[in-house]
Amino acid sequence: MSSPVTTRIEDTFTSKRVTIKTTRSFDEVTARLYNSIGTPGDAGWPTIVTYLEGPSPTKEGFVATAKQYIGPELFMLFWEIDHSLWTPLYGIAPGQRIKRVVLGNPMSAATVMAHEVKAGLAAPAEILILEGAGGEGTEVIFQLFSSLAAGVEKSEELVKASLNLDAKVQHLVDHITL
């Protein structure tokens, strides 16, 4: 029996990170976000996975199940990491709250992944919510989906679908920061 052969491929591309600064408090921004995508306690992805692992999932059933968890700004919460629970142990941003929020819409992701399956590396989207020093204001940071998903393989359809997702993320960020 022969040994497995692996090949490493490195693609270089430019990604774009956007930072939106607001005078809204961290609590205000996160409350507005949770009102739009749900809270960690009611995240829908586990229920969706249970449906998909069931006896006979269908596209229609998947969409119906997912739509139950998609909020008014067209996203749902997948996962959240509260970095501020551990960063003070290393002297990083003491007194500042930092949350990484994984959010998305599986149907929107499908519109991009239909053109390039590797775009799944950038889906679902992520935002970082960073409390300003001394509790003054908040920053919301995200990477443009189009610069991640369409970074290397750039078909016209992929770029169009990716830019559409960029606009949806921007709309959500505007909603929680303005």
Q: What is the mean pLDDT of the chain?
A: 93
Domain ranges of the chain: 17-177
**Which whole-number Å values give the CA distances from 15 to 21, 50, 73, 115, 142, in the listed order?**
20, 34, 24, 19, 11
- pTM, whole model, 2 decimals? 0.92
Count Cβ atoms below 10 Å from residue 63 Cβ, excluding itself.
Answer: 13
Residue pLDDT, tens place only, 34-55: 999 999 988 889 999 999 999 9
Domain at 17-177, CATH from 3.90.1150.10, 3.40.50.300, 3.20.20.140, 3.30.310.70: 3.30.310.70
- Whole-number Å distance between alpha carbons of 145 and 167: 9
Q: Are 36 and 172 in contact (CB under 8 A)?
A: yes
**Is 44 in a helix, a strand, or coil?**
coil
Dihedral in degrees, nearest 10, Cα atoms 175, 116, 16, 21: 10
**In the chain, where does DSSP find H-type helix?**
26-37, 45-52, 59-67, 106-113, 145-149, 156-177
Residue 1 has pLDDT above 90, yes or no: no
Return the DSSP state at 1. Answer: -
Q: What is the pLDDT of residues 100-124, one digit of tens each?
A: 999 999 999 999 999 889 889 999 9
DSSP 8-state assignment for residue 128: E
